[in-house]
A and B are shown apart, each in its own frame.
Chain A
């Protein structure tokens, strides 16, 4: 669902129960909920599932699991257990489902967690994902708020998975054209999360359905802080710009752009497709992190070689939560 619709629905509900053990709950735009057990331990809870975004069932399973696990990493947590959520048409063949689950299982194992159960529903369109429980030290939780003016904004995976999967669906691209994006989506945010904790990140979230700008807006408090990002410095998967300029822009990107309304200002040198690329809904996107200059240097050291990360902008003082996008 788009951010606007979700907002409308949540307004219809009574406010969530307040209990002091709830360290992160419904009242913030964070990626997962955190419930404190004792001085040393808090549980991180999250759930995410979606329809196939690639044809290869094993890759789909891996991506869905990496995506679900990412919410735990975005809170600075370590995943412990996972439960499968499966909607599947029996007509599609049980070997396909087995491949999806194998992809998910391999990814969960790679994270160090265990799959300990799940639930299946007969459904026309397949959907797969996981509910994940992790643990985090109550004093070492990463949340989406906490960035300060002067902080560097870092992203740890390229953008464009929504545009590419739309192009795949429309027959403009073949699955071979998405190899880099598939590898990127299947990659765990584990190492980036650990490095962010060690380097003392001020704030952290992961980029998913609301797009880069939507999740960046979640990092801004109601007043006092803005952010500037440079479109030309954004990492993109191959062929994203080309596909966007051919009209392969998912409806979600339009919704995300609408929702930003007054909170985003685009410089005249930002191209038409650039506006949609920064709003493109991502599947299993990278972490979005805020670092002080010293923290950024530590992060660069902590990120082992072969791990991508990109400096894409800077937090600035601003009366209103405003994202300035320059070309």
Chain B
């Protein structure tokens, strides 16, 4: 059973905002209740734009909208059929490697500011990587309390797969604090690197 978002009685754009929040928090299956056609169409439009599968059921005085997040491959084909010019592109094959929790060598404080700005910019970019691999201190970007979690969650919502090195999480003692991405292993990381059409290491 998916997460339930009751947006009945709410006027536009609140139902879309609530749907977006639920998807951002990582839900892969949602049921959104709305009580007017405007909200039904806008929520449907939003979920479709995010590459989700959407089904609408009319139940008396309200609508029940089923939203399922699909795998990235299906997301792309879905996106392409709707309005390609508006979708951020998820290029399969491009891998972004984050091996540190700062950007560049040198000043620690500056590096933290830069990596946050980098991830925020990336999450608003037209071109997105297929996967992101986080290892060594890079895994700290994805744990609770890190100010980069929001940007990474946005990227995940846009269909970017985020692999977080399990060995590294263990080493830093934060395995139970992962806030975004899937805990991964060296086999998968190796596979990802080999499958990559190109990889960018930060």
Q: Which of A170, A241, A271, A272 has a CB less than 8 Å from the CB of B16?
A: A170
Given known pairs A254-B37, A254-B41, the reply for A247 and B16 (CB within 8 Å) is: yes
How many positions in chain B have a CB within 8 Å of any CB in the partner chain? 21
Residue of B nearest to A165 (CB): B13
Contact residues in B for A251 (Cβ distance below 8 Å):
11-12, 36, 38
B86 touches A248 (CB 8 A): no
A241 touches B86 (CB 8 A): yes
Residue of B nearest to A271 (CB): B83
A170 to B42, CA, bound (A): 12
A178 to B96, CA, bound (A): 32
**B window 171-186: CB within 8 A of A:** none
A303 within 8 A of B: no
**B window 20-53: CB within 8 A of A:** 20, 36-38, 41-46, 49
Contact residues in B for A170 (Cβ distance below 8 Å):
13-14, 16-17
B82 within 8 A of A: yes
A96 within 8 A of B: no
Contact residues in B for A249 (Cβ distance below 8 Å):
12, 38, 41-42, 45
B191 within 8 A of A: no
B49 touches A245 (CB 8 A): yes
B85 touches A247 (CB 8 A): no
Contact residues in A for B17 (Cβ distance below 8 Å):
170-171
A30 to B11, CA, bound (A): 30
A23 within 8 A of B: no
What are 23 A-B residue pairs whose CB atoms fall within 8 Å in the complex?
A166-B12, A167-B13, A170-B14, A170-B17, A172-B13, A241-B83, A245-B45, A246-B45, A246-B49, A247-B42, A247-B43, A247-B44, A247-B46, A248-B13, A248-B16, A249-B38, A251-B11, A251-B12, A251-B36, A251-B38, A254-B38, A273-B45, A273-B83
Q: Among B11, B12, B38, B46, find the residue whose CB has the most chain A CB atoms closer than 10 A.
A: B12
Residue of A nearest to B82 (CB): A245
Contact residues in A for B42 (Cβ distance below 8 Å):
247-249
A247 touches B49 (CB 8 A): yes
Q: Among B16, B20, B36, find the residue whose CB has the most chain A CB atoms closer than 10 A.
A: B16
A52 within 8 A of B: no
Min Cβ gap B47→A in Å is 8
A residues sitting closer than 8 Å to B (CB atoms) are: 166-167, 169-172, 241-242, 244-251, 254, 271-273
Contact residues in B for A254 (Cβ distance below 8 Å):
37-38, 41
Contact residues in A for B41 (Cβ distance below 8 Å):
247, 249, 254
Q: How many A-B residue pairs have CB under 8 A?
A: 57
A69 to B36, CA, bound (A): 35
A69 to B143, CA, bound (A): 54
B46 touches A246 (CB 8 A): yes
A169 to B16, CA, bound (A): 11
Q: Which of B12, B20, B45 has a CB less than 8 Å from the CB of A250?
A: B12
Contact residues in B for A245 (Cβ distance below 8 Å):
45, 49, 82-83, 86
Q: 14 additional contacts, CB 8 Å, given A247-B49, A254-B41?
A: A169-B13, A170-B16, A170-B17, A244-B45, A245-B82, A245-B86, A246-B46, A247-B16, A247-B44, A247-B45, A247-B46, A249-B12, A251-B36, A254-B37
Contact residues in B for A241 (Cβ distance below 8 Å):
83, 85-86
Min Cβ gap A18→B in Å is 39
Contact residues in A for B45 (Cβ distance below 8 Å):
244-247, 249, 272-273
A247 to B46, CA, bound (A): 5
Min Cβ gap B102→A in Å is 27
Contact residues in A for B16 (Cβ distance below 8 Å):
170, 246-248
Contact residues in A for B38 (Cβ distance below 8 Å):
249, 251, 254
Contact residues in A for B82 (Cβ distance below 8 Å):
245
Residue of A nearest to B13 (CB): A170
Q: Which of A166, A169, A242 has a CB less than 8 Å from the CB of B86?
A: A242
Residue of B nearest to A254 (CB): B38
Residue of A nearest to B16 (CB): A247
Min Cβ gap B128→A in Å is 15
